[in-house]
Amino acid sequence: MRCLPSLLLAVAAGTLAAGCDLSMKNQPRNDRMESPTLWPGGPQRAPPPAGTVAFEDIARDRALAYAPPITAALLERGQQRYAIYCSVCHGERGEGDGIVVRHGFPAPPSYHTERLRDAPPRHIVDVITDGYGVMYSYADRVPPTDRWAIAAYVKTLQVAGPEREAR
């Protein structure tokens, strides 16, 4: 067995490393917001300058502010995301009769009511972002561009119309 020596070496190295463990546990380190030794008069992590905005926030706000152009790819994405996140309650055709509702969750309104047919895609994006009444926000699961994609798809569902007349 040619690999036996390297195996033994690895085991020995492992034992040595384990032997070093004691000293590893006692290393000096700087905890966040701990005593003021690194920054004069402040915690270990310097606070961001006033007015700092995380780069991601700007990108997210920009994506939320403008509807992307409607393309086949966007609609396809919307259809897929709608099936994953919305149809369980709103139903495949947006009639408010998804499986979760059939198990007792409060029924959402049909997308085919006059009020929701007239609502702009922005309203759907806002509902996904903030939630609405008993519907909770999907902001942490559906990123901004997908919200527009879903909104575009819901609009096509509305154009297609309900399977039966909205109540």
* Contacts with ligand HEC, residue ranges (CB under 6 A): 85-86, 88-90, 100, 105-106, 108-109, 116, 124, 127-128, 132-135, 138, 142, 150, 154
Closest separation between CB of residue 156 and ligand HEC, Å? 13
Closest separation between CB of residue 65 and ligand HEC, Å? 18
Closest separation between CB of residue 63 and ligand HEC, Å? 16
The CB-nearest residue to ligand HEC is 133
Query: SS in 3 state form for the chain?
Result: CCCHHHHHHHHHHHHHHHHHHHHHHCCCCCCCCCCCCCCCCCCCCCCCCCCCCCHHHHHHHHHHHCCCCCCHHHHHHHHHHHHHHCHHHHCCCCCCCCHHHHCCCCCCCCCCCHHHHHCCHHHHHHHHHHCECCECCCCCCCCHHHHHHHHHHHHHHHHHCCCCCCC
Closest separation between CB of residue 96 and ligand HEC, Å? 8
Shorter beta-carbon distance to ligand HEC: residue 41 or 104: 104
Shorter beta-carbon distance to ligand HEC: residue 50 or 134: 134
